[in-house]
Chain A
Amino acid sequence: MLAYTLQRLLYVIPVAFGVSVICFMLVHIAPGDPLTAVMPIDATAEQQAAMRAEYGFDKPLPVQFAIWFGNALQGDLGASIATGRSVSSEVSRAVGNTLILAFAASLIGFPLGIFFGFVAGIFKDTLIDRAVTAFAITGVSVPNYWLGIVLVVIFSVTLGWLPSTGAGPGGSTNWAWDFEHLRFIILPAVTLAVVPMGIVTRTVRALVGDILSQDFVGALRAKGLSQVGVLRHVVRNVTPTALSVVGLQLGYLLGGSILIETVFNWPGTGFLLSNAIFQRDLPLLQGTILVLALFFVFANLIVDLLQPLVDPRIKRG
Chain B
Amino acid sequence: MSTTVDTKVPAVPARPAAEQAPAQSKGYWQGVGARLSRDPVAMVCAGLLTLLLAAVVFAPLLPLADPFTGSMISRLKPIGTEGHILGTDELGRDMLARLIYGGRLTLMLGLLPVIFAFLIGTFLGVLAGYVGGWLNTVIMRTVDVFFAFPSILLAIAISGALGAGIVNSLVSLTIVFIPPITRVAESVTASVRSLEYVDAARISGARALTVVRVHVLGNVMSPIFVYATSLTSVSMILAAGLSFLGLGVKPPQPEWGLMLNTLRTAIYIDPVLAALPGAMIFLTSLCLNLLSDGLRSAMNIKD
Binding site for B on A (CB under 8 A): 14-16, 18-19, 21-23, 26-27, 29-31, 137-138, 140-147, 149-150, 152-153, 157-158, 195, 198-199, 202-203, 206, 210, 245, 248-249, 251-252, 254-256, 258-259, 262, 273-274, 276-278, 280, 282, 285-286, 289, 292-293, 296-297, 300
Contacts and interface: CB of A to CB of B under 8 A. Distances in A.
6 nearest A-B residue pairs (beta carbon): A146-B278, A18-B145, A255-B150, A251-B150, A255-B153, A255-B152
Q: Which of B161, B244, B264, B271 neighbours the largest number of chain A CB atoms within 10 Å of its CB? A: B161
Given A137-B286, A141-B286, 7 more contacts: A141-B3, A143-B241, A145-B257, A157-B268, A206-B302, A262-B245, A296-B150
B7 A199 contact: yes
Contacts of A300: 148
A143 B150 contact: no
B233 interface: yes
B199 to A, nearest CB: 30
Contacts of B160: 26, 273, 276-277, 285
Q: What is the predominant secondary structure among interface residues of chain A facing chain B?
A: helix
Interface string B154-191: 10111011110000000000000000000000000000
Contacts of B112: none
Contacts of A198: 3
Nearest to B172: A29
Given A18-B142, A19-B145, A19-B149, A157 B267 contact: yes
Contacts of B158: 26, 29
Contacts of B1: 137, 140, 199, 202
B263 to A, nearest CB: 9
Contacts of B6: 248, 251-252
B267 A146 contact: no
B290 interface: yes
B122 interface: no
A140 B3 CA distance: 6
A282 B161 contact: yes
Contacts of A292: 150, 153
B153 A293 contact: yes
A259 B271 contact: no
Nearest to A20: B145
A23 B157 CA distance: 8
A229 B108 CA distance: 52
A149 B3 contact: no
A199 B4 contact: yes
B146 to A, nearest CB: 7
Interface in B121-160: 141-142, 144-146, 148-154, 156-158, 160
A18 B144 contact: yes
Contact of A15 (B148, B264, B286): B148
Contacts of B268: 157
A155 B274 CA distance: 16
Nearest to B275: A150
Nearest to B267: A153
B271 A273 contact: no
B163 A30 contact: yes
Q: Which of A145, A206, A254, A285 neighbours the largest number of chain B CB atoms within 10 Å of its CB? A: A145
B275 A153 contact: yes
A289 B244 CA distance: 19
Nearest to A244: B9
A141 B244 contact: no
Nearest to B233: A141
Given A19-B145, A29-B162, A152-B267, A195 B286 contact: no
B24 interface: no
Q: Which of A152, A249, A252, A262 neighbours the largest number of chain B CB atoms within 10 Å of its CB? A: A252
Given A141-B285, A150-B278, A249 B4 contact: yes
B282 A146 contact: yes
B292 to A, nearest CB: 10
Nearest to A198: B3
Contacts of B148: 15-16, 18-19, 293, 296-297, 300
A255 B148 CA distance: 12
A22 B279 CA distance: 35
Nearest to A294: B148
Contacts of B267: 149, 152-153, 157
Nearest to A164: B267
A51 B289 CA distance: 50
Nearest to A282: B161
A145 B260 contact: yes
Interface in B217-258: 233, 237, 240-241, 244-247, 257
Contact of A274 (B245, B274, B289): B245
A256 B274 CA distance: 22
Q: Which of B2, B153, B281, B285 neighbours the largest number of chain A CB atoms within 10 Å of its CB? A: B153
Q: Which of B7, B240, B244, B281 neighbours the largest number of chain A CB atoms within 10 Å of its CB? A: B7
